[in-house]
Structure 1
Amino acid sequence: MSGATASWLADGRRLHLNHGPIDLIVEAFGEERERFLAYRQAVARFETILEELVAELPALRSPAGARARRFSGSTAQRMEEAVHAHVPAFVTPMAAVAGSVADEVLAALVKDRAITRAYVNNGGDIAIHLADGESLDIAIAGTGHGLADRISLSTADPVRGIATSGWRGRSHSLGIADAVTVLASSAAAADVAATLIANDIDLPGHPAVKRVPANEIDPDSDLRGRLVTQAVGCLSDPDVARALENGLSTAWAMRERGLIEAAALFLRGETRECGTISLGKLAYTPVPAVPSHSHAQKGLTHA
């Protein structure tokens, strides 16, 4: 598969797809033959995704502008469309790469197949398929911050994508969020929104926050010379509240524009929520670990 690999996990139900920085867990539900054909379609589509992205990488690392661009690859086009909705904010298509890959593989998985439910999990960015009358429980876990519970989605819900972002993982964040989880109409939409909300959970110039230019860490970073968070020291309760309110304002603005359905924001044991889909069951306890959500694919060079 030209460097891409496909293998079954130990349970024999979930498919593991890997190619360089892209690492997917795929599961489909339905009759055995339909699932077999669906998995085969997903593997076939996955085979070339990384090469397609690399071929257009210079443009994908460039900020979206007032005029939407056309890309040759369908995954790259998903990325551009997802971020263009947030212009004039500074954002490159790489902010939606993980979610867009999940959406792309899911679309291939279910095309012309009688699949009742399915998901593609790309390092915490999850694309979801639900046939009429179906529902799926999604475990929101592994962000490294005690965010661990379940959200039940049904066909009637507008959510088909979930993503989590924050400064603690392999991602480069402009903000100080421990984690931001977003529910949206697609994984690509959730991915870019989580990134931008996490960027805005911030305290510009605060002495407890250590920052360095992104291109000092990775010369090819799409964030270029923008300062990214490397460490966060002691913050007062008012500091935490102010940072969270900054991000919450961004989340509500996105929701009012129809860009997201809901979001949960986390910083130093404090939580803020936005949206009508209940995230109230999500328990939050800070622990010193790394989020599963990865910006590594957003760089595609340092992963």
Structure 2
Amino acid sequence: MGPSRSTLPNGREHFQHGPIDLVIAAEGHVHAVQAAHDAAWQRFATVLPELVAELPLLRAPIGTDCPLQGPVACRMWQACAPYRSGFITSMAAVAGAVAQEILAHYTGSGIARAWVNNGGDIAIHLAQGQQVRVGLWADLARFRPRAAPHPLPTDAQFTVTADLPVRGVATSGWRGRSFSLGIADSVTVLAHSAAAADAAATVIANAVDVSDARITRRPADEIKDDSDLGARLVTVDVPPLPAALVDQALQAGLARAEALRAQGLIWHAALVCQDRWRSTDATAGRPLVQ
């Protein structure tokens, strides 16, 4: 199937091609918004073929030099390169990097604010004085869509203003659409770009972990034969654990998040596991939200 495009309520655009599923919103001058949508659509149609052409390299562990050619592929590699001392492939940043590529068409004159949501990994554009609120859904197991006009209740909300060094939001965890080595229900990261947030969320979620025989793990390539993780064990089920173990896992993830924040790789992270929270803004409890 080729790429598809449709218009959603409130003027949002829906672009879909294979595994890439974008919801796009933009506000500003009507002609500028429409031109941005059309330009973004033209670019979108070429993204998946470009990535498929370099897929073997994208699934390979990050090395010292970037072997990739395409702009999205290179962005993926650059976002993951800070973590090359451990195992990571460029695929850890694919969703954020794609969102970021499409958002580039919404940053010109006449666009007040825009966001591209790629399955929960979001690239944001804010003109001076603008802001956006981002909802956090901590546990996908409890997700129940509600019919309009009822709003979707979120566990927390972040307000991102134009003066903050945040233009990307991403979430990772064992309940999400990608594999995780850890037991976090969710790790949400705010960073300078969507690709950077995506890579960091993956790394921090992997760090939210403990060793316990009750946790079920399986080789990634037994679940998906072309997984870039190969035979590495990924989490497939986490039963209710004692609070002390959950706190231990969260503290390990928080230490990783704080280290990344100190390096300037992220701005903020909120970590959730079995209704317990940690945040780079506090040592316990809910993250700084509004």
Give distance in 2, aligned partners of 1:143 and 1:114.
Answer: 37
Residue equivalent to 1:125: 121
Q: Give the deviation of 1:133 after TM superposition.
A: 1.9
**Conservation of the 8 A alpha-carbon contact between 2:3 and 2:15:** yes
Give distance in 2, aligned partners of 1:273 and 1:134.
Answer: 25
Give distance in 2, aligned partners of 1:255 and 1:241.
Answer: 20
Match for residue 280 of structure 1 among 276, 281, 288? 288
Matched, 1:10 2:4: no
Give runs of aligned pairs for residues 1-303 of structure 1, distance below 5 A. Answer: 3-11=2-10, 13-65=11-63, 67-110=64-107, 112-141=108-137, 144=140, 147-204=154-211, 206-275=212-281, 279-281=287-289
Matched position secondary structure for 1:48: helix
Change in CA separation of 1:81 and 1:240 when aligned onto 2, cut-off 3 Å: same
| Deviating 4+ runs (over 6 angstroms) | none
In structure 1, runs of 5+ residues without a counterpart are: 283-303
**Conservation of the 8 A alpha-carbon contact between 2:132 and 2:159:** yes
TM-score (norm 2): 0.91
Give distance in 1, aligned partners of 2:251 and 2:168.
Answer: 24
Residue equivalent to 1:295: none
Change in CA separation of 1:105 and 1:3 when aligned onto 2, cut-off 3 Å: same
Q: Give the deviation of 1:143 after TM superposition.
A: 5.1
Matched position secondary structure for 2:57: helix
Give distance in 2, aligned partners of 1:138 and 1:207.
Answer: 36
The number of residues matched between the two structures is 276
Residue equivalent to 1:293: none
Change in CA separation of 1:184 and 1:281 when aligned onto 2, cut-off 3 Å: same
Matched position secondary structure for 2:35: helix
Give distance in 2, aligned partners of 1:193 and 1:209.
Answer: 23
In structure 2, runs of 5+ residues without a counterpart are: 144-153
Q: Give the deviation of 1:234 after TM superposition.
A: 3.2
Q: Give the deviation of 1:116 after TM superposition.
A: 1.1
Q: Using the aligned pairs only, state the percent identity.
A: 47
Structure number with higher relative contact order (C-alpha < 8 Å, ≥ 6 residues apart): 1
